[in-house]
Amino acid sequence: MTIIKKFDPDKKDTRQKFPKKYVVLGGITLFILILIEIWVSNTMVSFGEKLVSINNLKNTIKLENQILQNEIAKYSSLTNVATESSKLGFSKPESIQYIR
């Protein structure tokens, strides 16, 4: 007695195959994500450089502002105003007259 096994193409394979399209789709998605990561890194580096330059400019302007405030305080002090007014010929009033 011989056993002959027939080839049935109608029967489906019991193993589940992972479709190729999912592998390709995953690869394309990974490639796009890598490109986005590179673009974000480059953008952040350029923004960091701009932030540093703006911060340096801010510190310079604060220092200049402090210097100008010191000069304003020096020139508007009472002793300086009194000496400058005496150089221009102003003097203290001897008597004050009020008009009603």
Domain ranges of the chain: 20-85
**How many angstroms separate the CA atoms of 87 and 80, rounded?**
11
Contact 80, 74 (CB under 8 A): yes
**N- to C-terminal Cα distance for the chain?**
146
Length, in residues, of the chain: 100
Whether 56 has a pLDDT exceeding 70, the answer reads yes
**Mean pLDDT, residues 19-34:** 94
Question: Where does the pLDDT of residue 9 fall: very low under 50, low under 70, confident under 90, or very high at 90 and above?
Answer: low
Is 61's pLDDT higher than 80? yes
Quickly tell me which residue has 């508007």 as its tokens.
76
Over range 60-82, report the average pLDDT.
94
